[in-house]
């Protein structure tokens, strides 16, 4: 990334450590304070970087859920409306790590038991996607379909979107774009996506 100063270009180098989970909704929801969250009671060390994706340290606010290459942050849940917003960072690797199984078993199944039927996954920082068997996606789709639930990934980078589509995961998960989601409140993000999903389902 670059910025301009008085007509000259200067490079700015960003590292994995610089990518923080979105934090402007923390006055509305904090996953580690939510008894229904799989991250309830988790504590964070703000002064020491210990988690890595391959050999790159990442910001300590990201949550480990069992994958070696993919981390997450549960940004918001609304149990009355039945939706959750999850942000991901890293490489989504079903071929070697079976990340979809881990995500399902360690995170979304817990939220499903708490009443969550609609999942919004922020995909801006999904660096790569490697596909394998689609059975866990199909199972997730069938689990949610009964209650008119869905899974949407927002803003997936183009190369990862290509790989999702090529693997036919889009039979079970919708890919949408909402580039200005950070300027909105979570209920507005949900309202936009839910409206789009209802339109598509019709």
**pLDDT per position as a tens digit, 143-194:** 999 999 999 999 999 999 999 999 999 999 999 999 999 999 999 999 999 9
Q: Which two tokens stand for residue 86?
A: 């999850």
Average pLDDT, the chain: 90
What is the reported pLDDT for 136? 97
| CATH code, 74 | 3.30.750.24
Residues 6+ apart with CB under 8 A from 158: none
Domains contained in the chain, number: 1
Domain region containing 123: 2-201
* Percentage of the residues of the chain whose pLDDT score is greater than 90: 79
pLDDT in tens, 28-43: 999 999 999 999 999 9
Alpha helix stretches (DSSP H) within 31-170:
99-103, 109-113, 135-145, 158-166
For the entire predicted model, the pTM comes to 0.90
What count of other Cβ atoms lies within 10 Å of the Cβ of residue 98? 17
Which residues share a beta bridge with 119?
84, 151
Confidence of residue 14 (pLDDT cuts 50, 70, 90): low
pLDDT score at 19: 87
């Amino acid at each position: 990334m670059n910025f301009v100063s008085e007509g000259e270009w200067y490079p700015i180098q960003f590292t994995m450590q610089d990518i923080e989970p979105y934090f402007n909704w923390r006055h509305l929801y904090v996953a580690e304070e939510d008894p229904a969250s799989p991250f309830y009671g988790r504590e964070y060390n703000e002064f020491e970087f210990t988690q890595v994706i391959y050999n790159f340290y990442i910001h300590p606010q990201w949550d480990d859920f069992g994958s070696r290459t993919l981390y997450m942050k549960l940004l918001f849940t609304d149990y009355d409306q039945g939706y959750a917003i999850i942000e991901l960072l890293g490489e989504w690797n079903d071929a070697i790590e079976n990340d979809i199984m881990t995500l399902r078993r360690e995170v979304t199944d817990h939220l499903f038991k708490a009443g969550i039927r609609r999942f919004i996954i922020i995909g801006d920082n999904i660096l790569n996607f490697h596909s394998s068997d689609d059975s866990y996606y199909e199972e997730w789709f069938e689990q949610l379909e009964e209650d008119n639930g869905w899974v949407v990934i927002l803003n997936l980078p183009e190369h990862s979107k290509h790989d999702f589509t090529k693997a036919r995961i889009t039979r079970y998960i919708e890919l949408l774009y909402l580039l200005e989601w950070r300027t909105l409140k979570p209920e507005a993000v949900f309202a936009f996506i839910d409206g789009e999903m209802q339109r598509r389902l019709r």
